[in-house]
């Protein structure tokens, strides 16, 4: 799997190489390339995951056309994860998302709020990528202890439940791995 992004274009305080390495380590079962983009036009949600064959796109992102061999080696498919740039930039320790999502329950105190938010969101969307390639991993029966921690949206479908439980489990692992690759641990 190859992880591509447009992080450098937005001059965000994210180590792109460390993030890609952390994703490859934590989500090694995902084989298709992953394109992560921050988009200021995304206003109604925090993040989106799409997995489409390149035939479905009218216009491919430039970074995908530059790495088309990798995409073609994976049956012409790649995962596209879009994150709201405006929401990411507005995250602070006292942001409603940090409180409502109860991120302090899952992330260490030394994880910055923006990092915890990003890792949780990426883990959620990457769990959707795992669903596409490997099927659902978590169900409501065997993972009953998580049900009381989730909101109505996370409980609305089996896919969202699986993705949110995946974010709770893999998000902190992704954060620890990211900090390790950054040299903070």
Three-state DSSP state, 2? coil
Please give the pLDDT value at position 84: 92
- H/E stretch holding 168 reads helix 158-182
Q: Which residue has the tokens 């994703």?
A: 23
What's the rounded mean pLDDT across residues 40-50? 80
23 pLDDT higher than 90: yes
The pLDDT score that the predictor gives to residue 17 is 95
Task: Specify the higher pLDDT residue, 52 or 30.
Answer: 30
What is the arithmetic mean of pLDDT over 7-31?
93
Share of the chain above pLDDT 90, in %: 32
Q: Which residue has the higher pLDDT, 81 or 76?
A: 81
Instruction: Report the C-alpha gap between 183 and 132 in whole angstroms.
Output: 32
Domain boundaries, the chain: 3-182
93 near 113, Cβ under 8 Å? yes
Q: What is the mean pLDDT of residues 2-28?
A: 92
pLDDT at 78 over 60: yes
Mean pLDDT over all residues of the chain? 85
Q: In whole angstroms, what is the distance from residue 164 CA to residue 152 CA?
A: 11
Check whether 185 has a pLDDT greater than 70.
no
Q: What is the mean pLDDT of residues 73-88?
A: 88
Predicted confidence band at 180 (pLDDT cuts at 50, 70, 90)? Answer: very high
Could you tell me which residue, 90 or 153, shows the higher pLDDT? 90
Asked if pLDDT for residue 151 goes beyond 90, the answer is no
Please report the pLDDT score of residue 141 as a whole number.
75
């Amino acid at each position: 799997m190859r992880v591509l992004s447009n992080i450098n274009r937005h001059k965000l305080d994210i180590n792109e190489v460390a993030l890609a390495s952390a994703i490859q380590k934590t989500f090694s079962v995902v084989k298709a390339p992953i394109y992560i983009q921050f988009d200021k036009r995304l206003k109604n949600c925090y993040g989106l995951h799409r997995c489409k064959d390149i035939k479905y796109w009218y216009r491919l992102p430039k970074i995908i056309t530059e790495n088309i061999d990798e995409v073609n080696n994976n049956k012409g498919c790649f995962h596209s994860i879009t994150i709201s740039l405006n929401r990411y930039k507005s995250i602070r320790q006292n942001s409603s998302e940090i409180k409502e999502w109860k991120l302090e329950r899952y992330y260490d105190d030394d994880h910055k709020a923006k990092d915890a938010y990003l890792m949780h969101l990426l883990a959620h969307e990457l769990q959707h990528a795992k669903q596409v390639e490997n099927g659902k991993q978590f169900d409501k029966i065997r993972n009953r202890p998580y049900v009381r921690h989730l909101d109505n949206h996370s409980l609305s479908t089996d896919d969202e439940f699986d993705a949110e439980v995946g974010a709770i489990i893999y998000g902190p692992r992704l954060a620890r791995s990211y900090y390790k690759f950054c040299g903070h641990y």
